[in-house]
Amino acid sequence: MTVDLAELRILIYPDPRLRQVCKPVTRFDDDLAALADRMLELMHEAKGVGLAAAQVGVPLRLFVMNATGEPGDDLVLVNPELHDRQKTREAEEGCLSLPEVRVQVRRALRCRLTARNTAGDHLEAEAEDLAARVWQHEVDHLDGRLIIDRMSPSDAIATKKLLHDLEEKYRASAPQ
């Protein structure tokens, strides 16, 4: 797949590419590393804690994250899988593809993740609270799932106008 990295932008709801189910990465090469670097740049520019490839229109199973904001804590996770989800907790989440939308999402408090890095090396980690929440949020993106799919009926009412406005804006700007 050829991707023009300079052209990558964060897609905004309801762009249909956010709903794609992404395919596993099979080539661990320089192009993959360059894509991850560009995604980290876009994530930091947007002041986010995570960004999935689906959000920049690349239908591959990878995401980048930095749960602390510290420069050394950038992570790239390729072909991630979640295991051993334990307990659940509701907390507020936002999403770079859903500007201004904040909803309560129930997620596992703790989980384990296996993945590869851009060189193809196997990684395994356990996390709880924010990092575990970011993992689950980003893996949802790889399956075409957004936080608004998991919101409560009351959040659905509260965000109705925001979502409608985003849909109108998308319709007005989308190429015909």
Q: Are 35 and 58 in contact (CB under 8 A)?
A: yes
168 contacts: CB under 8 Å, gap ≥ 6: none
| 126 is annotated as an active-site residue | no
Q: Which amino acid is at 132?
A: A
Q: Are 40 and 8 in contact (CB under 8 A)?
A: no
Q: Is the Cβ of residue 120 or residue 169 nearer to Zn ion in the bound state?
A: 169
Q: Are 25 and 61 in contact (CB under 8 A)?
A: yes
Give least dist CB 96 to Zn ion, A: 6
Residues 64-103 close enough to bind Zn ion by CB under 5 A: 95
* Residues 101, 68: Cα–Cα separation, whole Å: 21
Q: Is the Cβ of residue 38 or residue 135 nearer to Zn ion in the bound state?
A: 135
Give least dist CB 137 to Zn ion, A: 6
Give least dist CB 109 to Zn ion, A: 19
Instruction: Please provide the distance, in angstroms rounded to a whole number, between the alpha carbons at the two ends of the chain.
Output: 25
Residues 102-161 close enough to bind Zn ion by CB under 5 A: none
The catalytically annotated residue of 126, 138, 167, 168 is 138
For residue 74, the SS3 value is coil
* Residues 123, 100: Cα–Cα separation, whole Å: 33
Q: Is the Cβ of residue 25 or residue 138 nearer to Zn ion in the bound state?
A: 138
> Nearest to Zn ion by Cβ — which residue?
95
Q: Is the Cβ of residue 95 or residue 111 nearer to Zn ion in the bound state?
A: 95
Give least dist CB 55 to Zn ion, A: 6
- Number of residues near Zn ion (by CB under 5 A): 1
Positions marked catalytic:
138
Residues of this chain that interact with Zn ion (CB under 5 A) are 95
